[in-house]
């Protein structure tokens, strides 16, 4: 053993653990001696069953397993190991005659394979590469956990045509630094979409290991008008009574990140003029300042009002409207994408059940019918609130109609009664087909369930606006 390897003996506890499984004693012993020389801690097993017992009680980084074993073979071992310890990297050992089986094992989850007779130098290189892959995977896993802890989850749910178009447009503009205006009813997810755009176009750091740039949201309707300018642009010392030191506003705190201005229509006209300067000249004037300050933040704005009408009414500056409206993205209300409800329900149920320490497998058929028929005037936010309430009240594992708010039924009746007969029949037909498709993703099976031809199903899906 070389000098460097002798020096590593002090950190023996940190050596990677390798499990070797082979029913030939000579191969086991040869591999054990070589791997120990390479700086690994090695445990050997003569069968797949023995290997599973060892893997159940001890943590291994890598497993070398012969494909042809008596009793449980290598494929069987791989499948069982993935169930109990999916994080273990597996290298299959095979003879020339069974290379195809090794490739099959590779498809089933093995990371690599070796052909007998084993070339030890080749094994050494493979192990080094696999350990580097595992190190990077663990590092990425840690980074993802840190990012999820610091930054809220951003996930857009929806396979409907209108939602796919929205997501596609957001994806295209995300890498740019364009000012974007998001419009949509309350509860449709404008801030969530803004975060997705921010994360998709993050240029705050050239180092991928650093955390993303800041996303700072300001609700223009929630801050008193006399404080909003100070909140956005900051102030200089002595600007007003109590201003005993300089203070940065949101634009300075954001750096190269994103400033998200929610309810932009509520911005006072005087502050609108200052915002226009920030967009056009990339500079702001803090309260009490004589000299402008350059800013680099990207601006995303959102509103549930028709800004064109606000301009016509004299409540919103026309020049600012055109500056904000470089790219406009409208988020559809939930009632216009009802086919997304099953996927939304599944996602929100899993998200909030985990947060509350509960386990739910889904929503039963009757409850889903109610959810699919509700008008959802409060959009996704209302649906999320309904599901949170259901999780709290239900013992699980399925949400039933009894777990839903009593107020949903009158809302459904009101929603249905406003339709004519043709519209009501179409709405029912669309809801029913979407429910069947949710339970039977295979279109042929769904057509059989509906007792119609496959071609008829595709035709009805197209007519009713269901994504095919």
Block mean pLDDT (10 aa), the chain, length 468 = 36 74 93 93 94 92 91 89 87 74 72 87 91 78 55 69 90 89 93 89 41 82 87 85 84 92 94 93 89 92 95 95 92 91 90 86 85 89 92 85 75 49 70 74 84 85 79
Q: What is the pLDDT of residue 103?
A: 66
For helices 74-84 and 48-57, give the axis angle rounded to 10 degrees: 10
Q: What total number of domains does the chain contain?
A: 3
Kindly state whether residue 154 falls inside one of the protein's structural domains: no
Same domain for 132 and 200?
A: no
Pair 119, 242 in one domain: no
List all residues 6 or more positions away from 465 whose beta carbon is below 8 Å from its beta carbon. 161, 430
Q: Are residues 360 and 267 in the same domain?
A: no
Does residue 102 belong to any structural domain of this protein? yes
DSSP 216-284: EEEETTTS-HHHHHHHHH-B-TTSSTT--S-B--HHHHHTTSEEEEETGGGS-HHHHHHHHHHHHHSEE
Query: Which candidate, 227, 231, 316, places its Cα nearest to that of 267?
Result: 316
Residue 429 in any domain: the answer is yes
- Residue 288's domain comprises 161-332
**Apex 205 CA angle, 200 and 210, nearest 5:** 95
pLDDT of residue 424: 61
Which CATH number do you get for residue 58? 3.40.50.2300
Considering the domain architecture, whether residues 69 and 92 belong to the same structural domain is answered as yes
> Which candidate, 276, 267, 269, 185, places its Cα nearest to that of 222?
267
Give the Cα separation of 347 and 331 in Å (integer): 19
If you search the block for the tokens 């791989």, which residue do you land on?
A: 78
Q: Is residue 152 part of a domain?
A: no
Looking at 292, 311, 332, which one is the last position of a domain?
Answer: 332
Exposure on the CB side of residue 186, measured as CA atoms within 13 A: 6
Same domain, 23 and 101: yes
297-310 per-position pLDDT tens digit:
999 999 999 999 99
At residue 361, the pLDDT reads 83
| SS3 label, residue 103 | helix
Tell me the two tokens of residue 354: 């985990």
Q: What confidence score (pLDDT) does residue 214 get?
A: 87
169, HSE (Cβ side, Cα atoms, 13 Å): 17
Does residue 322 sit in the same domain as residue 456? no
Determine the pLDDT at residue 205: 39
pLDDT score at 124:
92
Last residue of one domain, picked from the residues 332, 353, 369: 332
- The two tokens of residue 262 are 């929610």
Question: Could you tell me if residue 285 is inside a domain?
Answer: yes
pLDDT at 212: 57
Residues 326 and 360 in one domain: no
Q: Please give the helix or strand (H or E) that residue 299 lies within, else none.
A: strand 298-303
* 313 and 410 housed in the same domain: no
- Give residues with Cβ within 8 angstroms of 222, minimum separation 6: 263
CA pair distance 404, 24, nearest whole angstrom = 62
Q: How far apart are the first and last CA of the chain?
A: 64
> Does 103 lie in the same domain as 27?
yes
Range list of β-strands (E), 127-223: 180-183, 215-219
Q: Tell me if residue 327 falls in helix, strand or coil.
A: strand
Q: What is the CATH number of the domain that holds 307?
A: 3.40.50.300
Examine the domain organization and report whether 309 and 227 are in the same domain. Answer: yes
Q: Are residues 173 and 319 in the same domain?
A: yes
* Residue 260 is assigned to a structural domain of this protein: yes
Tens of pLDDT along 177-213?
889 999 999 999 999 999 989 987 543 433 433 445 8
Whether 322 contacts 304, CB under 8 Å: no
Cβ atoms of 173 and 181 within 8 Å: the answer is: no
Q: Based on the domain organization, do 37 and 115 belong to the same domain?
A: yes
Residue 404 contacts by C-beta under 8 Å, 6 or more apart in sequence? 367, 370, 371, 386, 390
Q: Is residue 153 part of a domain?
A: no
What pLDDT was estimated at residue 203?
A: 38
Q: What is the pTM (predicted TM-score) of this model?
A: 0.56
> Tell me, what's the pLDDT at 443?
85
Report the pLDDT value the prediction gives residue 421, as an integer from 0 to 100. 65
* pLDDT given for residue 409 in this prediction: 55
Domain boundary (284, 302, 332) is at 332
Report the C-alpha gap between 329 and 201 in whole angstroms: 16
Our separate counts of H helices and E strands in the chain read 20, 14
Q: Is residue 397 classed as helix, strand or coil in its secondary structure?
A: coil
Q: List phi, psi (to 5°) of 20.
A: -110, 125
Asked if residue 156 belongs to a domain, the reply is: no
What CATH number corresponds to the domain at position 382?
1.10.8.60
- Of the candidates 98, 101, 114, 106, the one whose C-alpha atom is nearest the C-alpha of residue 30 is 114
Task: Tell me the backbone φ, ψ of residue 398, rounded to 5 degrees.
Answer: -115, 140
């Amino acid at each position: 053993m070389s000098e460097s390897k002798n020096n590593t003996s002090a950190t023996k506890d940190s050596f990677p653990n390798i499990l070797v499984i082979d029913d030939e004693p000579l191969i086991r012993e040869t591999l054990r001696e070589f791997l120990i020389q390479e700086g690994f801690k090695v445990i050997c097993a003569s069968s797949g069953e023995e290997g599973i017992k060892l893997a159940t009680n001890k943590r291994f980084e890598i497993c070398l397993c012969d494909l042809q074993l008596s009793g449980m073979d290598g494929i069987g071992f791989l499948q069982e190991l993935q169930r109990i310890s999916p994080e273990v990297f597996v290298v299959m050992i095979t003879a020339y005659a069974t290379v195809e089986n090794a490739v099959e094992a590779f498809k089933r989850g093995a990371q690599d394979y070796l052909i007998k007779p084993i070339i030890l130098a080749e094994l050494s290189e493979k192990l080094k590469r696999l350990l580097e892959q595992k190190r990077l995977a663990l590092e990425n896993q840690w980074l993802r956990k840190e990012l999820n802890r610091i930054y809220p989850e951003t996930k857009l749910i929806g396979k409907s045509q209108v939602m796919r178009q929205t997501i596609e447009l957001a994806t295209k503009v995300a890498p740019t630094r364009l000012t974007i205006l998001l419009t949509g009813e309350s509860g449709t997810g404008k801030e969530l979409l803004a975060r997705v755009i921010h994360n998709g176009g993050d240029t705050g750091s050239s180092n991928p290991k650093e955390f993303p740039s800041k996303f700072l949201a300001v609700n223009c309707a929630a801050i008193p008008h006399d404080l909003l300018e100070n909140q956005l642009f900051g102030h200089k010392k002595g600007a007003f009574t109590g201003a005993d030191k300089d203070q940065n506003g949101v634009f300075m705190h954001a750096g190269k990140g994103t400033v998200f201005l929610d309810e932009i229509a509520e911005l006072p006209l005087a502050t609108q003029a200052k915002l226009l300067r920030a967009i056009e000249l990339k500079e702001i004037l803090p309260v009490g300042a004589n000299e402008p300050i350059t800013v680099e933040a990207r601006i995303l704005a959102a509103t549930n009002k028709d800004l064109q009408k606000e301009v016509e009414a004299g409540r919103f500056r026309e020049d600012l409207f055109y500056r904000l409206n470089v790219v406009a993205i409208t988020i559809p209300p939930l009632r216009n994408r009802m086919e997304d409800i099953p996927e939304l329900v599944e996602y929100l149920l899993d998200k909030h059940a985990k947060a509350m320490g509960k386990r739910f497998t889904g929503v039963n058929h009757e409850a889903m019918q109610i959810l699919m028929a509700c008008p959802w005037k409060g959009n996704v936010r209302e649906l999320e609130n309904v599901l949170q309430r259901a999780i709290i009240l239900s013992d699980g594992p399925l949400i039933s109609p009894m777990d839903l708010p009593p107020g949903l039924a009158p809302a459904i009746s009101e929603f249905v009664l406003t339709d004519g007969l043709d519209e009501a029949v179409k709405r029912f037909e669309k809801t029913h087909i979407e429910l069947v498709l949710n339970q039977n993703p295979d279109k042929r099976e769904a057509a059989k369930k509906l007792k119609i031809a496959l071609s008829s199903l595709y035709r009805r899906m197209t007519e009713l606006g269901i994504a095919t």
